[in-house]
Amino acid sequence: MEKMVHIAVVPGPGFSHLVPILQFSKRLVQLHPNFHVTCLIPTLGSPPSASKSILETLPPNIKSIFLQPVKPEDLPQRVAIETQIQFTVTLSLPSIHQALKTLTSKTPFVALVADSFAFEALDFAKEFNLLSYIYFPSSATTLSWYLYVLKLDKETSCEYRDLPEPVKIPGCVPIHGRDLNNQAQDRSSQVYKLFLQRVQRFCFFDGIFINSFFEMEASPIRALKEEGRGYPLVYPVGPIVQTGDDANGLECLTWLDKQEVGSVLYVSFGSGGTLSQEQVNELAYGLELSNHKFLWVVREPSSLAFDAYLSAKRDVDPLHFLPGGFLERTKEQGLVIPSWAPQIQVLGHSSVGGFLTHCGWNSILESVVHGVPLITWPLFAEQRMNAVVLSEGLKVGVRPRVGENGLVEKVEIVEVIKCLMEGEEGGKMHKRMEELKEAANSALKEDGSSTKTLSELVLKWENLV
């Protein structure tokens, strides 16, 4: 009889840090049904409803426990989103410790896997005799930068955006300092210091899972695995994306059914990305003037790009913020839906031919899995780095230029839409994305690169029981 293997996972707060680690857990128990996963979830305030509903879809051998929610007023005020996420975990540590104590007193667990923002939970691994792993829900390129910054921090003193040359991270497409992650944009800030402290710790864990795959990021993955760098073991296990079942009959899918194959541009800024009112206006006019079909997930505007990210927002109809007459004028051309779309089904729909995305890594992988090329419009976090990987490295996306006023203007929006949806370059992007889709499928086959990587580790864990 196969041995039962128990592991615990700790996601970071926020929908898009919960989903990846749950998907990873699902894949693990699907490939290895003798595995049991317990997910300990830190939250800030009440969790978004999308997070609650995703937990209802878990198989029986994945259990979830919401930890005592952290009160928003207990966090330092007006700090960066990354700091909020990390402090939420810090304040949840006593509950994580208690939960681990209770769990391991009944059953032997072999490993603890934590989202990269929940790395502090791994401090408990030794006490409970667990191996410790980071689940890094992002690219190999981003991880490479996180490990490389420790060196660059010692070698340079100016802001990275003032470096005369793009940063050459081993194995990666060169990235200009201004495109590095938000946390690295102000070296005197608290968020940068926390970032350095976090990545310093990465080298001391038993390994790091990345949601990427060899065929997509061969060069950074090879460089990460090169001996002599003192890096932790890296396990590319992706692309792990949501499968998304039961969304049939929704208005937007019925609308897509009526459109021509490959004709619709899907527009979405992730689980919480927001645009300013001026930018919403430019985007609306750009979509309208492009004359292309579109499906746009609209959110209430905000001056903070990540305003809707961590917790549920007030109940305001986002469509009120669209330019006057827009909905009426575009009723034959596009469909606008408030706040949330069944993204997996949308990207999997044959009518969708392009995706204007904020370049969150999950959205990117979902697009790759469905072969949909991109307009890369990064907002925050490491999204600008992702945009560089996609548009300059893999060449499966086109990146709009941000004007001096900080806006992507309607003329530019029209241009990138036309480039992607009708231009010669767009055709090439489509083709390259199709190839990447094939490679993604292969990586997940029984003998695929990502499946083999995971299975090797599973064997190691089983031998510990």
- Applying CB under 6 A, the residues found at the interface with ligand UDP are 16, 19, 242, 268, 270-273, 297, 340-341, 343-344, 360-363, 366
183: left (phi over 0), alpha (psi -120 to 50) or beta: alpha
Q: Which is nearer to ligand UDP, 360 or 448 (CB)?
A: 360
Give, as one character, the DSSP assignment of residue 299: -
Active site residue 447: no
The SS3 call for residue 354 is strand
Catalytic residue among 6, 36, 115, 292: 115
The secondary element (H helix, E strand) that includes residue 100 is helix 81-106
The secondary element (H helix, E strand) that includes residue 7 is strand 5-10
Residue 332: CB minimum distance to ligand UDP, A? 23
Residue type at 291? N
Residue 321: CB minimum distance to ligand UDP, A? 17
Residues 296 and 330: beta-carbon distance below 8 Å: no
Residue 463: CB minimum distance to ligand UDP, A? 34
Residue 105: CB minimum distance to ligand UDP, A? 35
Residue type at 413? I
Residue 291: CB minimum distance to ligand UDP, A? 24
Q: Which is nearer to ligand UDP, 400 or 414 (CB)?
A: 400
d(CA 168, CA 146): 13
The SS3 call for residue 286 is helix
Of 32, 20, 148, 30, nearest in space to 459 by CA? 32
d(CA 386, CA 175): 10
Give the tokens for residue 457.
């580790």
Q: Which is nearer to ligand UDP, 195 or 361 (CB)?
A: 361
Q: Which is nearer to ligand UDP, 108 or 338 (CB)?
A: 338
Neighbours of 3 (CB within 10 A): 12
Sequence length of the chain is 465
Residues contacting 159, CB < 8 A, separation 6+: 177, 185, 186, 187
Residue 49: CB minimum distance to ligand UDP, A? 12
Catalytic residue among 6, 17, 36, 370: 17
Q: Which is nearer to ligand UDP, 27 or 460 (CB)?
A: 27
Q: Which is nearer to ligand UDP, 84 or 95 (CB)?
A: 84
Please identify which residue in the block is written with the tokens 């051309």.
Answer: 333
Of 354, 343, 395, 402, nearest in space to 378 by CA? 402
List beta partners, residue 338: 298
Q: Which residue is nearest to ligand UDP (CB)?
A: 360
Active site residue 257: no
d(CA 381, CA 305): 10
Residue 73: CB minimum distance to ligand UDP, A? 24
List beta partners, residue 266: 295, 355
Rg, the chain, Cα only: 22
Q: Which is nearer to ligand UDP, 204 or 340 (CB)?
A: 340
Please identify which residue in the block is written with the tokens 């790091």.
Answer: 208
Q: Which is nearer to ligand UDP, 208 or 252 (CB)?
A: 252
Q: Which is nearer to ligand UDP, 244 or 323 (CB)?
A: 244
Preceding peptide of 164 cis, ω within 30°:
no
Neighbours of 328 (CB within 10 A): 7
Give the tokens for residue 159.
């802001």
Residue 242: CB minimum distance to ligand UDP, A? 5
Q: What is the DSSP string of 358-412?
A: ---HHHHHHHHHHT--EEE---STTHHHHHHIIIIIS--EE-PPPPTTS---HHH
Residue 214: CB minimum distance to ligand UDP, A? 21
Tell me the catalytic residues.
Answer: 17, 115
